[in-house]
Each structure stands twice: as structure tokens, then as C-alpha cells.
Amino acid sequence: MLHCNIGAMHNSTMENAMMNTMNLDMLKEFGNGGYAQARALGELNLRTWERLFEKQMETFGLLIDNANAQIELASEAREVSDMKAMVEGQGELNRKLAEALTSKGRETLELANTSRNEYKAWMEEGMGIFTKLAGSATKAS
């Protein structure tokens, strides 16, 4: 009887050791998966930031170009009679600027939609990895 209990305790200890090893392996997989996902998120954030910054710089360039054109137009008006042409020219410059800004706004919206889709795909991939690993952990226990 004593021998059976010792044997049962030995088997129980072996099973616990195997379970602990399996648990550590699963933790390692979670860690590796988490690191890969964190790295992918960092790269996604950087790409998104670069694209948004590029759009901001393009928009800033439009504003500077418009300001330069306005100054040039104003410097050409030397007489009161030139004022009508200057005002008409400013109106045309402002119309072109408004169209360009509207276009940049649309481009930025498209960029936001693209980024949203990329973040959604990243999240779905991460959830897939988590679900797979969690399923393995559930089966092991």
C-alpha cells in the first residue's frame, strides 16, 4: 500500500513538472507573439506618422506659396488704379488655395481610412495569435 502511494506521488510530481514546462513554453510563445505584435505596432505608428507629416508639410507648402503670391501681387500694385486687379488677383489666389486645401483634406481623409484599415488588420492579427495561444493553453490544462 505504501509503495502504491509513493508511486502515485512520483507520477503526480512528474505530471506537475511536465505541466510547468508546458506552461513556461506557452508563456514564452505569448512573450514572443507579444513582442512581434508590439514591433509591428511601432512600425505601423511610424509609417502613419510619416505619411501624416508629409501631408502637413505639403499643406504648409501650399500656404507659403500662397503667401508669396499674395505679397508679389500686392507689390505690383503701385497705383490706386491697380487695386482692382490686385483684389481680383487675390480672389483668384484664394480660390486656388481653397481648392488645393480641399484636395489635401480629401487626401488626408483617404490616408486616415488607409491607416484605420491597417490598424484593424494589426488588431485582428493580434487577436488571432492570442486566440490560438489561449486555445493551446486551455487544451494543455
Q: Which domain holds residue 15?
A: 2-140
Give CA–CA dist 29/74, Å, rounded.
67
What is the per-residue pLDDT across 87-111, written as a single tens digit (0 to 9) for each? 999 999 999 999 999 999 999 999 9
Mean of the pLDDT values across residues 7-23?
A: 61
Q: What band does 32 get if pLDDT is binned at 50, 70 and 90? A: confident
| Number of domains the chain is built from | 1
Q: Which pLDDT score, from 0 to 100, does residue 12 have?
A: 67
The set of residues, in sequence order, having a beta carbon less than 8 Å from that of 104 and lying 6+ positions away, is: 55, 58, 59, 62
Q: Which pLDDT score, from 0 to 100, does residue 95 have?
A: 98
Whether 1 shows a pLDDT value over 50: the answer reads no
Q: Which pLDDT score, from 0 to 100, does residue 2 have?
A: 47
Amino acid at 84: K
Describe the chain by its helix, strand, coil percentages, rounded to 5: 95, 0, 5
Amino acid at 43: E
Q: Which residue has the higher pLDDT, 112 or 32?
A: 112
